[in-house]
Structure 1
């Protein structure tokens, strides 16, 4: 038998042992099974043949002429190249791949030299390659992480010398093209018009530039300060300026926009400014943005909220809260900074409000520092009302998120806490200034909307007559107050842009219509008293419709337009009239309207193939109308992938009806009325 230590006739090295090989050399030679009994170091075969039982050993692979020739043809390794360059004292540049045309890397050259003293090695460069560099006068023993076995092993077997430089991490410089700015004259006109809204915008209003504060009524100075601060090297400061211009554009009415010279159309310019700021924030996610980052997020959520994207605003608020907590804004007992306290208060209270509105979880609790009642920034009735409303909205969110909607006792308890805030509600007066009016309207709308959201789950998916009449009456009363308050706001400030306010007006009117139709049906079968007064309530619905139509004439509000079209159709059906001419064409003898964060409406018409369908008219009278008020969860409205839901409230409400998409997959129409 050939010796295992010498190559075979083919002059090739012996085969390497396979992983997991356990047989001994003798059993391997005899090609028999090697069996070991428990506790015995010699296999059964070697015991029978009385030979020494030895494990197999792989012979070392020899270096023959074939391998030597192949080795000469191979490409040099990185280790060989590094040694060659070091011997000639050549500097090696760090080579990076190009990610995109808009990404620019700063070149950096680092000498690969091992002749530096240990004191020249920066502490943030990591451990050196040689153990000799770890000697120190302080004997820390095993406490020194450099003495750990695994790092020592890696250091001893590293095949490349570490790069020694003052900055071990490559410097990454990402270039983001700036969007075009309006001309100086356009900026002056834009700032002068929007100036009246500055006091009711986020807290950062009057020093948005941080380098030079804006001054009221100084339009020339403000426009020059804005363009001058655009030369800053601070990206977050520049992003904040772009966001400030975007916010001014959002609230600029159509008549004023037509007189401005903008580099792009209004909608596209706002999108470019917000996208630029979002990119800067995403790059700076691990940086030291500080106050600038929080203030950018404070403007971003306001833009998203006013343009009909409450879910996006909710996400910006949560990011702002996280950053504010990291900066300690919630600890007003530590920083004693009124500005930081005001920014923190606005962030967590608006996040709580939108969480309650959309049925989403909140990221703060009533025990969280900065949200407790004793953390009120000042003893003002309006501030106290907002703070207590935020606490109650947190209780509603907790009830909805923990599945306690059926706990009616809990609902009544929250309702009693809510009623204790009513004496703090301000009085509305048309003679007051814009700031006072907006502040009063804000707290009243929030109070009544919270009241509606508290009791709406109690009237879903069941006939109202079988539910607590108290909850139904509370919802109807809240809707009346919302209509009164918002129509008053539009009378004194008809050019204030906020898609969410228009949505609240529409949803209040639609809920009131459902109450009217329910009362009409119950009055034929029951004589129980009701809080519905059809005459006055229909007048409120009509005033809501007129208010939405007036808003459409002055502002580019998608919610106001679609809400007015929907109300037009429902009012026509309830009054036994044909639909207005501007309504979309019918699909499958029905008109379907799907409203984000609210529900679905379906107006049914007689079958066109039946004799009941009048052939002489373009459109018949409706036969029935159905309503579905879903829980305020966005997920309930996103089952159809074909529906463009990413635009939230400003998406196409008639999309499913126009494209014959399934509308009743997630909707169990609770209310069905024959008309």
Structure 2
């Protein structure tokens, strides 16, 4: 470039020397700047008073002509600037070099010294671009009208980025990078290949840098992922590494080697990858950090930020991709939304997880994978191995499973009523445990349908019973699904603390599935647990609730004794809350002929559960476990009173006392403790009170009362009672799980 300017300057000087002396012009007194500095509107300065060429013209290698002489280099009106023309020619040559660099010309085998004309070279480069392999051309986003590929302009920007990497960032770039500081002070390194993750980063070419369209998204995602050494330590210590690697695969796919290995999580996709690939890896790393044991020494990683800040930055940065409809229209988009749902649910933000999952279901329905079509189910990674990509069928089932689980906890409607995953054809390759889980998923939707249909029957007379036969049918199906597994499977497995993470993950999976089974049994029968104690019709419901609660809490204590990280399978905490509340409330009233021989054992089980919750809360500072422990402590007074009053006989009433709970978005609940009373001779349905003090006619008089919030209150009132509807787990610990549970007692009217 400098030789070209030297030639241009010497050419101009030779032309000037051959011309006759220029005629002087009359200028104003004090005018000393040259024509070039005047045109640029800058100050004309000289190194010494004897110099004839100013500093600016020396640097630009331009002709320094004083204003005392005519500016012969200025173009005439209507004519092009010859210097501008030469610069455009030079830019054209640069573009040709870019094309040759992106696509080697097979015709021009002799290199730059070929005798071919520029026109021939341009046409050859264009034809070579058209003959690119299909995998070199990225697939268009299903949510975009058109896709803009990376052409010569992207390569030109990449060349500019190369110069920035060689010479250091400019001032504006430094300011931009300060707004997005990396996790560590040292620049992140990218692995050269899948077998080596510690090599130094190579010089980035245009193909290794992100496209201009996604430059800042990819750069931001890469900046928040910890360094390679920190990643290796996190993945080696986290129980979640194995889980997130197999999350989107069936058991048959895992056995065949289709699933990724946990070591693959440490391999960060290159910067030139689609943002979805970087977001997927960021979410996987985030879940691994969430599941780290509390005893893990975070400081040994050398990360500048603490663990909570890294988790927050990873989650918020991944939202740049998962919340952008222009980016998620691929198979990896469904995966990212699934991972984000799992992260939000484990963080205690169930409502956010429910909404994120609805976006994933909508995206899957746009792709038509719910109807068995896979034409639109494409990957954004054309260079990835197709044999390791999750199948559309498995991803769709994962969406339905999580949706129905969250909807059941929150008392919300399901996103899809599709039960094709539980048909005979799809169950042929499943293991018995997978068949049980799919039966749970299908029955969860039917339990929700029963609850909503009964809650909507407001015009039903009080003496008319709801369809209890539907509950009995669902119970028979749950029992049949459970009998498909041998009795030995239901025995509590022994957990080996010294086993590998893979072995521990396989050992803990049956416990989690059994906990979910007993949760469904409780939620199925708890609306009838306290109803009409004088009639034997609902004895089975109460017995099932109490037995399921005991079995669930035993497994909960086993699980939490091994995994004390608050974000390790958060669903067991909600299940523990439901089981503990059910077992305590079961001692509010004694049914006819019921024997309370296990009161001391149940009281000890409730206390062990509360202590385990407090232990986890003390280690991790988790608000959900602390809130659950407080709720259990309040309800434990019911079972403690039953223990002290049981020896006095069933006919002797105890002093009455009350428990009150303020449940967000439901109202105030008053539970009356009157000791174990003998049931009355016949059913007695009290009259329906006012809306301010609704007494349940299905329960014994005065046993439980609901005082719903006034729905007609002006907006903004009661802010000290009601949290924000989309508050996270820190601001609203129970997220409405308690509201959905208490409303089940108000369901049977």
Q: TM-score, normalised by structure 1?
A: 0.56
Report deviation, 1:450: 0.9
Query: Which residue in the other structure is 1:644 paired with?
Result: 723
Alignment gaps of 5+ in structure 1 = 1-87, 91-123, 126-170, 578-588, 606-624, 632-637, 657-662, 671-675
Query: Which residue in the other structure is 2:507 paired with?
Result: 437
Q: Structure 2 CA distance, aligned partners of 1:641 and 1:458?
A: 34
Query: Which residue in the other structure is 1:416 paired with?
Result: 476
Report deviation, 1:402: 2.6
| Structure 2 counterparts to residues 113-124 of structure 1, below 5 A | none
Query: Which residue in the other structure is 2:521 paired with?
Result: 451
Query: Which residue in the other structure is 2:224 paired with?
Result: 180
**8 Å Cα contact 1:250/1:497 also seen in 2:** yes
Structure 2 vs 1, CA of residues 325 and 372 (structure 1 numbering), >3 Å: closer, same or farther?
Answer: farther
3-state DSSP of counterpart to 1:420: helix
Query: Structure 1 residue 190 and structure 2 residue 212: aligned?
Result: no
Post-superposition Cα deviations, 1:32-53, rounded to whole Å, max 9, x if no partner, equal xxxxxxxxxxxxxxxxxxxxxx
Q: Structure 1 CA distance, aligned partners of 2:706 and 2:229?
A: 48
Query: Which residue in the other structure is 1:320 paired with?
Result: 360
Alignment gaps of 5+ in structure 2 = 1-77, 81-144, 147-211, 376-386, 458-465, 497-502, 643-656, 674-701, 709-715
Report deviation, 1:256: 1.3
Query: Which residue in the other structure is 2:599 paired with?
Result: 534
3-state DSSP of counterpart to 1:376: coil
Structure 2 vs 1, CA of residues 417 and 302 (structure 1 numbering), >3 Å: closer, same or farther?
Answer: same
Query: Which residue in the other structure is 1:564 paired with?
Result: 629
Report deviation, 1:194: 1.6
Q: Structure 2 CA distance, aligned partners of 1:627 and 1:263?
A: 53
Post-superposition Cα deviations, 1:58-86, rounded to whole Å, max 9, x if no partner, equal xxxxxxxxxxxxxxxxxxxxxxxxxxxxx
Query: Which residue in the other structure is 1:306 paired with?
Result: 346
**8 Å Cα contact 1:182/1:263 also seen in 2:** no
Query: Structure 1 residue 357 and structure 2 residue 409: aligned?
Result: yes
**8 Å Cα contact 1:499/1:559 also seen in 2:** no
Post-superposition Cα deviations, 1:608-632, rounded to whole Å, max 9, x if no partner, equal xxxxxxxxxxxxxxxxx9867999x
Alignment RMSD (CA, Å): 4.5
**8 Å Cα contact 2:358/2:415 also seen in 1:** yes
**8 Å Cα contact 1:330/1:370 also seen in 2:** no
Query: Which residue in the other structure is 1:374 paired with?
Result: 425
Query: Which residue in the other structure is 2:467 paired with?
Result: 407
Post-superposition Cα deviations, 1:82-112, rounded to whole Å, max 9, x if no partner, equal xxxxxx9x9xxxxxxxxxxxxxxxxxxxxxx
Q: Structure 1 CA distance, aligned partners of 2:571 and 2:621?
A: 13
Query: Structure 1 residue 472 and structure 2 residue 542: aligned?
Result: yes
Report deviation, 1:544: 0.9
Report deviation, 1:222: 5.5
Q: Structure 1 CA distance, aligned partners of 2:666 and 2:246?
A: 28
Query: Which residue in the other structure is 1:281 paired with?
Result: 322
Report deviation, 1:573: 7.4
**8 Å Cα contact 2:276/2:333 also seen in 1:** yes
Structure 2 vs 1, CA of residues 628 and 500 (structure 1 numbering), >3 Å: closer, same or farther?
Answer: farther
**8 Å Cα contact 1:236/1:289 also seen in 2:** no
Q: TM-score, normalised by structure 2?
A: 0.51
**8 Å Cα contact 2:664/2:723 also seen in 1:** no
| Structure 2 counterparts to residues 91-170 of structure 1, below 5 A | none
**8 Å Cα contact 2:439/2:481 also seen in 1:** yes
3-state DSSP of counterpart to 2:586: helix
3-state DSSP of counterpart to 2:556: helix
Query: Which residue in the other structure is 2:614 paired with?
Result: 549
**8 Å Cα contact 2:527/2:744 also seen in 1:** no
How many residues align structurally? Answer: 442
Report deviation, 1:290: 0.7
Report deviation, 1:250: 1.2
3-state DSSP of counterpart to 1:647: coil
Report deviation, 1:590: 9.1
The one of the two structures with greater contact order (alpha-carbon pairs below 8 A, sep at least 6) is 2
Q: Structure 2 CA distance, aligned partners of 1:181 and 1:402?
A: 47
Report deviation, 1:197: 4.5
Structure 2 vs 1, CA of residues 630 and 442 (structure 1 numbering), >3 Å: closer, same or farther?
Answer: farther
**8 Å Cα contact 2:516/2:575 also seen in 1:** no
Q: Structure 1 CA distance, aligned partners of 2:259 and 2:743?
A: 52
Query: Structure 1 residue 483 and structure 2 residue 553: aligned?
Result: yes
Structure 2 vs 1, CA of residues 566 and 397 (structure 1 numbering), >3 Å: closer, same or farther?
Answer: closer
Structure 2 vs 1, CA of residues 181 and 327 (structure 1 numbering), >3 Å: closer, same or farther?
Answer: same
1:344 is matched with which residue: 363, 377, 396?
396
Query: Which residue in the other structure is 1:232 paired with?
Result: 272
**8 Å Cα contact 1:199/1:435 also seen in 2:** yes
Report deviation, 1:452: 1.1
